[in-house]
Chain A
């Protein structure tokens, strides 16, 4: 029988109490709670559209069981900043035209943020390639994504670290 228990989750700084079955993925939980910015592109760990930060690491939420993250901070792309107070990655993706259909964008921004938090503040093209290698994008050819991440990294560096 699939056990369900009440757990507490910390998502984008908000606390949620939810009844979660043992086999529920973080992707399902997040979307069930209305975090629709977490996208589902494959549910197999192949595309990265579902990426979120668990503490400071980008993970594929489709491969992560919700029970395993109950003591950690979960951050989606919307948790990094707001329209009024955007994260440098938000601004750079907007200004550099890095989102086309935009379906991959939340995952790409999360993967880039994880790279920046791991102190790769001046990423080379190869650093970016590696950090984003788990995130498929079918629209952009990644060129403007690299532009945007480079621009955001500069701002983060000048501001003295990721927010």
Chain B
């Protein structure tokens, strides 16, 4: 269920014909009929099958690795280890990063000496069949000498702890010093202090990592792969040792990403094996491989100290946070930065003090995951607000209202928020949409919770982000968009088509989008950081506007009216005041073509570029803009069994403008489910670095049995920096969900569980403590 509440759109001097419509996405028929070919649905003649040998230990030294028996096995084409790779490194940084260099801790492609986490790759095999490749893995002999490991970030910070990365295991640090926190706490009537913990989370995209690589007649390594980032081709080329223009990445529609396909996954292995064997090679992870094969969501420990006046005004806020980065750096510094920026949430805090650190351990490495640090920050600040409301005796919504940021206020990093801040409207509508409160029923206690957030969209401004798109109109009046953007399931590609359709006066089905091929489509940047619509949507808008402008100019001549008097819709061009004076779009295109009018445009859209924030104060611009919204939930807690059921869950978000309201609602509903798993059932448990849950029967994501019918409320302030005033919604949809549920559980049972997930066992224990 969803509803759209338009803001300034009503007053806007624009009548949309395609944008804003809940049209079926252009990728929907293929997906529903089973015709969509994902990266794993391609085969080639003479193709080999690859497998990866992983370390069973989390902290060890690789003494010896002997692959001679594996090589002798009939059907094995190639086995690669450190011998062949001679220390080659795989980059772990963001693709296309142009900012400052950071702690250089790239990962050996295959273990060279040290093993830093369980599952670290030690050898690659390519064989005639998957079965032979698996058999070959079993024939590889190796000696691993166990080394003392460290499995908790706080242990890793202690003097004398085993060093996993750098000199002290600290892979990144951020701080904020804003205002005068001491004075702020002195002015406080009440000070609330609590520590909140979050867990390792698995992306659990349904399509495991997969790719197919081949070397073509020009010595180009082609890789068709499930990825969020085709621009990894540069990293892959560097890792393999070929020029950047000799690696081509072809994306496919991606079977779910959520950040888990933001880093390189199978690409380098495929490139190495295809190059070594000169044959096509396919590598498809099993589900178990996938649990070991990509970085997880960071567990955070967040200690919050917040001062309030009796009236509920925040006087000072101090946050200390520690994130577990696992065995390698990957995107931990950026995740930590996002968490730092989001530390005080959507609230105005004049006196703010944040200390944040990401610490290496011998756990699985952690990296990007939808919400990217801001989700963990929200879990803490929103529970803290509820704890404060309880202590102050102020209504939870009212306390938030008294502190919400307003447009023009300074956010945590000291820059003003320029777009609309509709936190209050979103929170109020989400709460009202819960409707009548379900009554308690004996041991079943009902509780309600709300959470608000601030989440960025667009990349860090000192990464100097750009996105390119090409838009052209064909001789028959159909439209083509070319852009490297990857579509990870949220409808990224269809939104581009909808924008082009709007501006060129055609229907959505008249637009074809060719995307995600590094050899032919203009590079659009990553589908990460809730940036695809903002960045590439703007590029498509600008390109389509340029083509539109030229077509309309020529049409005005044709109709002998002033430029600006002509419009286009429904595949026709017409005089705005006299729509009967019209011509078919394709006839206009024919005229333009015969006169050499340029019918296409290539555009680069640039995000705002800044320098880095001040490292001592954390003040400065970090992101292009922010999305605001809220989640409200109602839960039932069985006080006998400790089981929590989500009865109602409503997300209300100001998305600026919904290009496709159905797609936006889909993000909000899907985020509600992911956030619910985060709050209640999902946890990757590492015991001494050893993962204990490696399948979907142990790692429990929400099923159809677990979910209510989610409700999405879409607000449109038209104030964002995306096309037509859009903001981003991909990550924001998830961010407030888990804390809203945690707050609802606390509301139901009168006691808070400070560490996620809120399992039945923890609920029962908490109730027992309360009883004593």
Contact = CB atoms under 8 A, between A and B. Distances in A.
B704 A128 contact: yes
Contacts of B705: 129-130, 133
A86 B703 CA distance: 27
Q: Quick one: which of B35, B40, B253, B669 has the most chain A CB within 10 A?
A: B669
A137 B442 CA distance: 34
A69 B101 CA distance: 58
Interface stretch (A53-61, A98-106, A155-163): A98-106
B82 interface: no
Interface residues of A, number: 55
Contacts of B458: none
Contact of B34 (A106, A125, A139): A106
Interface in B657-681: 662-663, 665-666, 669-674
Given A103-B255, A138-B701, A139-B670, A78 B35 contact: yes
B563 to A, nearest CB: 38
Chain A interface, >50% SS class: loop
A162 to B, nearest CB: 16
B1 A138 contact: no
B707 A49 contact: no
A102 B697 contact: no
A47 B696 contact: yes
A13 interface: no
Given A133-B703, A141-B710, A103 B38 contact: yes
A101 B33 contact: no
Contacts of A40: 40, 208, 284
A93 B287 CA distance: 26
A42 B665 CA distance: 28
Interface in A138-163: 138-146
A139 B34 CA distance: 17
Contact of A101 (B35, B37, B488, B674): B488
Given A42-B287, A104-B206, A140-B670, A99 B31 contact: yes
Interface in B14-33: 22, 24-25, 27-33
Nearest to A132: B704
A90 B707 contact: no
A39 interface: yes
Nearest to A31: B41
B205 to A, nearest CB: 6
B375 to A, nearest CB: 16
A65 B205 CA distance: 26
Contacts of A93: 28, 31-32
Contacts of A77: 32-34
A139 B666 contact: yes
Contacts of B287: 41-44, 46-47
A137 B31 CA distance: 14
Which of A39, A90, A133, A143 has the most chain B CB atoms inside 10 A of its CB? A143
A76 interface: yes
Interface string A15-48: 0000000000000000000001111111110110
Interface string B191-208: 000000000000111111
A41 B28 contact: no
A44 B256 contact: no
Nearest to A37: B34
Interface string A94-126: 111111111111100100000000000000010
A83 interface: yes
Contacts of A142: 669, 673, 704, 707
Interface-central residue, B27, B674, B704, by most chain A CB under 10 Å: B704
Nearest to A144: B666
B579 to A, nearest CB: 30
Contacts of B22: 97
Contacts of B508: none
B28 A94 contact: yes
Contacts of A138: 203-206, 256, 258, 670, 673-674, 701
Interface in B432-456: none
Contacts of B707: 141-143
Contacts of A41: 206-208, 287
B490 interface: yes
Interface in A72-93: 76-78, 81-83, 86, 89-90, 93
A143 B256 contact: no
B695 A97 contact: no
A66 interface: no
Contact of A47 (B29, B206, B286): B206
A126 B24 CA distance: 27
Interface string B729-758: 000000000000000000000000000000
Contacts of B29: 83, 90, 94
B36 interface: yes
A2 B143 CA distance: 33
Interface string B283-323: 01011000000000000000000000000000000000000
Nearest to A108: B704
Contact of B24 (A89, A97, A102, A136): A97
B34 A103 contact: no
Nearest to A110: B34
B491 interface: yes
Interface in B691-718: 695-697, 701-705, 707, 709-710
Contacts of B411: none
Interface in B32-61: 32-38, 40-41
A44 B695 contact: yes
A82 B35 CA distance: 10
B665 A97 contact: yes
A78 B284 CA distance: 23
B254 interface: yes
Nearest to B206: A103
Contact of B669 (A36, A133, A140): A140
Given A42-B695, A100-B490, A141 B669 contact: yes
B489 interface: yes
A143 B651 CA distance: 13
A142 B256 CA distance: 15
B33 A135 contact: no
A51 to B, nearest CB: 11
Most B CB contacts (10 A, CB to CB) among A98, A135, A141, A145 go to A141
B414 to A, nearest CB: 37
Nearest to A49: B206
Given A44-B695, A101-B205, A128-B704, A141 B33 contact: no
Contact of B491 (A95, A98, A100, A136): A100
Nearest to B661: A97
Contacts of A95: 24
Nearest to A106: B34
A34 to B, nearest CB: 9
A98 B27 CA distance: 11
16 contacts: A37-B34, A39-B207, A40-B284, A78-B33, A83-B29, A86-B33, A99-B28, A101-B488, A102-B36, A132-B703, A135-B703, A138-B256, A138-B701, A139-B666, A141-B670, A143-B707
Given A37-B34, A143-B710, 15 more contacts: A36-B41, A78-B34, A83-B33, A83-B35, A89-B32, A97-B24, A97-B666, A102-B489, A129-B705, A132-B703, A133-B704, A136-B204, A136-B701, A138-B205, A138-B256
Interface of A: 36-44, 46-47, 49, 76-78, 81-83, 86, 89-90, 93-106, 109, 125, 128-130, 132-146
Q: Which 4 A-B pairs have the closest CB atoms?
A: A37-B34, A101-B489, A102-B31, A103-B255
